[in-house]
Structures are given as C-alpha cells and as structure tokens.
Amino acid sequence: MNADKATQMNAEGRWWIRVVASVVACAGIALPALAATPIPSAKWSFVFNDPKGRPDRPIRVYTYRPRACDTTCPIVILLPGAKRDASSYRDYWELAADRYKFMVAALEFNASFWPKAASYNLGDVADQPDRQKWAYAAIEHIFDEMRDGQTGYVLFGHAGGAQFAQRMALLGARRRRRIRIRTRW
C-alpha cells in the first residue's frame, strides 16, 4: 500500500469516527472525551503547536505508553533540566511506566524557540501579560491534547524543569495536577 492511499484511508477513518460520535452525542448517549492526539503504544513523539498559547514556539512531546496500558492510563509529564533532553528522560522512565502502568510525556522546550532561563525556567512570564501564552499554560494545553478521560496528571521536574514546575505550582494554571520536584545544586 502506498503512502498516499494510507493517508487517505486514515483521513476517511477519522471522518467516520467523527460522524459516529456526532450521531451518538445527538442521541443523548454520553461518550468520554477522545484525545485529539492519543498516545500510541510504545515510544513516539509529536510536535505540539499551541493554538491557545504560542503557536510560533513548537514543543516536541516524547511519549511512551506501556503495552499493558490503554489511552486512559494515568499521565506523567516530565520536564528535563538545562540540557532539555526530553527523549532521554522518556527513556529513563520507561521501566517505571511498565511496572506501574502509566504513560510518559516528556516535553522538549527547544532552546531555539524557548531561549534562556527566562523563557523556560521562568515560564516566559515577564514578556507575556496574557497567562495563556505563558509556558506554564502550554502544559495544560498539551494535557488537553493527549488526555482520554483523565482528569489530572503528575508533573515531574528535574533541575531547570523543577524550577519550572515549582513556579507553575505557585503562579499556577488549573489545579488538576500533582507536582513532584527534584532539585540539586
């Protein structure tokens, strides 16, 4: 099967899912929210362009979903330190995700789009009066993109990512996360 035909079949499949979901919703039958970008099984990544926040600053999301999990398993969002090596963090958490049955989403705030500590560690707060454009809001927007019925997530930050998580907790977006912070000097 060539790539064009596979793309066409995939688009047609999504169209039918939307039609069926619309009919069921109109019939008064409640369905759980479907993820706009569901996390597939195993390792994967996608680029998130935040239409509510900063579409000019894409964020690569490295994910891992254990085989024992479906898309409704809990989500742990990881924020790396100054190296911003999100793919490595995803890989480090793979065994724990398999053992405890949760999905991992490691976020890469690329230094070319989110330069210096002001944009990443400090959440881009000083340059943005609109809270929806803060880097902290991007976490909520990414969660909304991936969630499939989950009402919250765990946020884990290491070093610069921990600074980000701490400030997010203090200046905070919505209160639907549990934050774990690991810092070191």
Q: What is the pLDDT of residues 117-151, one digit of tens each?
A: 777 777 778 878 888 888 888 998 999 999 888 88
Same domain, 80 and 16: no
- Structural domain count, the chain: 2
Residues 60 and 26 in one domain: no
What is the pTM assigned to this prediction?
0.77
Supply the pLDDT for residue 10: 52
- State residue 23's pLDDT score: 37
Percent residues over pLDDT 90 in the chain = 36
Rounded to the nearest 10 degrees, how much is the dihedral formed by the CA atoms of 159, 165, 168, 172? -160
Same domain, 109 and 131: yes
Whose CA is closest to 185, among 154, 166, 167, 163? 163
Q: Which two tokens mark 140? A: 């909520």
Is 44 in the same domain as 26?
no
**Domain CATH number, residue 100:** 3.40.50.1820
Report whether pLDDT(9) > 70. Answer: no
Q: Output the average pLDDT for the chain.
A: 79
Same domain, 94 and 177: yes
Pair (19, 53) in one structural domain: no
User: Exposure string (b/e) for 7-28, b if CB count within 10 Å is 16 or more?
Assistant: eeeeeeeeeeeeeeeeeeeeee
Q: Are residues 46 and 21 in the same domain?
A: no
Q: pLDDT tens for residues 145-182? A: 998 888 888 889 888 888 888 888 888 655 666 666 55
Asked whether residue 13 falls in the same domain as residue 72, the answer is: no
> Is 85 found in the same domain as 11?
no
Examine the domain organization and report whether 1 and 55 are in the same domain: no
pLDDT at 183 > cutoff 60: no
88 and 149 inside one domain: yes
Structural domain harbouring 4: 1-31
Looking at the fold, whether 26 and 40 belong to one and the same domain comes out as no
